[in-house]
């Protein structure tokens, strides 16, 4: 195992170096330097990296009714793209609403959008450059996982990396190519769950029980999602849905995307529940080989009840937290509560949360039963080997 861990350390080190290289040279690859300006047709855009040289003007604009919001006039130097080295003046807060946290100072790096028009180019800031703090928080996470988790932490990072590869190299490209989002999500979920679990916990009965429990729970969750998304007549239309239709065409299966999102969103919690149940069962049977599978199963239900209480709350808070701006927006409207929760964005989050929670609850007895039977089988095998 030491050789395997050293191999993982080397692999993760290479990935960190590659990530750093992407962060350093990525903007240059996206916005290659060119000494001559590349003409844009009217309506076309170009994204460039720039640095704030000077704040030319700063103040507040009156919106009426005692409301104000800040604005700035900034002098920027373009650091990449067809206008590299040139200076432009950009206004923030005059054509869009910004907050105090959005204000920039000298030295800040930003992404500037250049929009070609018949009367000349228009420039506006789309986002600050966030790659450095994002890289730092990722490095902090990786370092702490390795420091605290050691070998298992390394394997968990490798499993996480593999999960991301499955999502971005298989699931999403297949959906973009027009494949059924539900089928693609289920296949991708089964692959990443199985390989990630075996990579972290090894090839043993505990991992077998967890993987079988996760797969069965995932299939049930998918069936429930299909049933309730149909009953509630969710369409998947919304801001993102409209963008996807315009980008990929009207044949995109938005309802399938909702179903696929529910399935993938349940993976992390199912992984935690199923692995926790299987680990508890095998620890119990290791401590007392005389326990029957029924006693192990009853114990697993007792353990699972505490786990369910924590995980359901975690799942609810995770979904609500991710949708907090949406929830606040609907709280502003003065309408009956039943009308509010009937709106599709809210109903979609309700179905997502409750279906995921039902799948989580079902995972406890399913994995407990499988792990209990496998644990007794493993004990019989060990006893038979000892007698020989």
Question: Which structural domain, as residue segments, surrounds residue 283?
Answer: 178-387
Q: Are residues 124 and 183 in the same domain?
A: no
Q: Is the pLDDT of residue 7 over 70?
A: no
Residue 55 lies in a domain: yes
Encoded tokens for 268: 């992390």
Give the residue-averaged pLDDT of 312-333. Answer: 69
Is-contact 181 194, C-beta < 8 A? Answer: no
Q: Is the pLDDT of residue 87 over 50?
A: yes
Q: Is the pLDDT of residue 103 over 60?
A: yes
Q: Which residue has the higher pLDDT, 152 or 80?
A: 80
Worst-scoring range by mean pLDDT, 49-63, 199-213, 272-286, 311-325?
311-325
CATH assignment at residue 80: 2.40.50
Encoded tokens for 11: 């692999």
Q: Are residues 201 and 115 in the same domain?
A: no
Q: pLDDT per residue over 234-249, tens digit each?
A: 877 765 666 677 677 7
Q: Is the pLDDT of residue 111 over 70?
A: yes
Residue 145 DSSP SS3: helix
Give the residue-averaged pLDDT of 250-265. Answer: 79
Helix (DSSP H) and strand (DSSP E) numbers for the chain? 11, 5
Q: Are residues 120 and 256 in the same domain?
A: no
Total of domains in the chain: 2
Residue 19 lies in a domain: no
Q: Is the pLDDT of residue 116 over 80?
A: yes
Residue 78 lies in a domain: yes
User: Which phi and psi (to 5°) does residue 109 adopt?
Assistant: -105, 135
Q: Are residues 191 and 318 in the same domain?
A: yes
Q: Are residues 86 and 196 in the same domain?
A: no
**CA-CA-CA-CA torsion sign (12, 13, 16, 22):** negative
Worst-scoring range by mean pLDDT, 56-60, 108-112, 253-257, 373-377?
253-257
Q: Are residues 207 and 278 in the same domain?
A: yes
pTM greater than 0.75 (yes/no): no
Encoded tokens for 357: 């929670």
Residue 299 DSSP SS3: helix
Q: Are residues 197 and 70 in the same domain?
A: no
Q: Are residues 258 and 113 in the same domain?
A: no
Q: Are residues 248 and 123 in the same domain?
A: no
Quote the CA–CA distance of 276 and 271 in Å, as a whole number. 8
Q: Among 94, 129, 164, identify where a domain stops.
A: 129
pLDDT of 241: 67
Residue 20 lies in a domain: no
Number of residues assigned to the chain: 388
The pLDDT-based confidence of 172 (bands split at 50, 70, 90) is confident
pLDDT of 51: 93
Give the residue-averaged pLDDT of 55-59. Answer: 87
pLDDT of 64: 67
Q: Are residues 218 and 309 in the same domain?
A: yes
Residue 325 lies in a domain: yes
CATH assignment at residue 294: 1.20.1640
Residue 339 lies in a domain: yes
The pLDDT-based confidence of 166 (bands split at 50, 70, 90) is confident
Q: Are residues 211 and 352 in the same domain?
A: yes
Is-contact 172 185, C-beta < 8 A? Answer: no
Average pLDDT, the chain: 78
Residue 38 lies in a domain: no
Q: pLDDT per residue over 274-306, tens digit each?
A: 888 998 899 999 888 888 889 999 988 888 887
Q: Which residue has the higher pLDDT, 321 or 147?
A: 147
Q: Are residues 118 and 212 in the same domain?
A: no
Within the chain, residue ranges assigned H as helices are 2-30, 131-166, 172-176, 181-201, 205-231, 239-248, 254-287, 293-322, 324-332, 337-342, 344-387
Can you spell out the DSSP letters for 276-329? Answer: HHHHHHHHHHHH-TT--HHHHHHHHHHHHHHHHHHHHHHHHHHHHHHTHHHHHH
Partners of residue 73 on adjacent β-strands: 57, 91
pLDDT of 36: 42
Quote the CA–CA distance of 298 and 289 in Å, as a whole number. 15
The pLDDT-based confidence of 354 (bands split at 50, 70, 90) is confident
Residue 103 lies in a domain: yes
pLDDT of 147: 86
* CB under 8 A, 24+ apart: contacts of 211-216: 211/274, 212/367, 212/370, 213/274, 213/277, 213/278, 213/363, 213/366, 213/367, 213/370, 213/371, 214/270, 214/271, 214/274, 214/363, 214/367, 215/190, 216/366, 216/370
């Amino acid at each position: 195992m030491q050789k395997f861990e050293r191999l993982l350390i080397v692999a993760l080190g290479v990935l960190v170096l590659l990530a750093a290289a992407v962060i350093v040279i990525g903007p240059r690859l996206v916005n290659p330097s060119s000494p001559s300006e590349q003409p844009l047709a009217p309506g076309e855009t170009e994204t460039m990296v720039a640095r704030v040289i000077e704040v030319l003007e700063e103040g507040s604009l009156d919106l009426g009714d005692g409301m104000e919001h800040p604005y700035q006039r900034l002098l920027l130097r373009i650091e990449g793209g067809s206008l590299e080295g040139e200076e432009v003046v950009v206004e923030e807060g005059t054509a869009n609403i910004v907050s105090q946290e959005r204000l920039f100072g000298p030295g800040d790096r930003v992404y500037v959008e250049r929009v070609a028009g018949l009367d000349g180019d228009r420039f506006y800031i789309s986002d600050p450059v966030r790659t450095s703090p994002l890289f730092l928080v990722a490095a902090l996470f990786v370092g702490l996982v390795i420091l605290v988790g050691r070998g298992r932490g390394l394997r968990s990072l490798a499993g996480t990396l593999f999960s991301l590869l499955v999502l971005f190299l298989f699931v999403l490209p297949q959906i973009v190519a027009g494949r059924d989002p539900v089928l693609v999500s289920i296949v991708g979920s089964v692959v990443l769950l199985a390989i990630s679990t075996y990579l972290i916990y090894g090839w043993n009965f505990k991992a077998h029980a967890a993987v079988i429990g996760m797969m069965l729970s995932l299939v049930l969750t998918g069936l429930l999602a299909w049933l309730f998304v149909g009953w509630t007549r969710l369409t998947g239309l919304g801001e993102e849905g409209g963008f996807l239709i315009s980008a990929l065409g009207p044949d995109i299966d938005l309802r399938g995307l909702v179903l696929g999102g529910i399935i993938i969103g349940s993976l992390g919690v199912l992984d935690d529940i199923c692995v926790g149940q299987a680990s508890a069962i095998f620890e119990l049977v290791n401590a007392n080989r005389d326990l029957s599978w029924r006693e192990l199963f009853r114990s697993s239900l007792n353990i699972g009840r505490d786990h369910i209480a924590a995980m359901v709350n975690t799942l609810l808070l995770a979904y609500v937290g991710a949708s907090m701006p949406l929830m606040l927006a609907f709280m502003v409207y003065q309408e009956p509560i039943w009308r509010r929760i009937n709106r599709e964005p809210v109903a979609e989050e309700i179905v997502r949360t409750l279906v995921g929670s039902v799948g989580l609850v079902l995972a406890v007895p399913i994995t407990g039963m499988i792990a209990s039977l496998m644990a007794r089988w493993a004990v019989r095998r060990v006893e038979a080997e000892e007698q020989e």
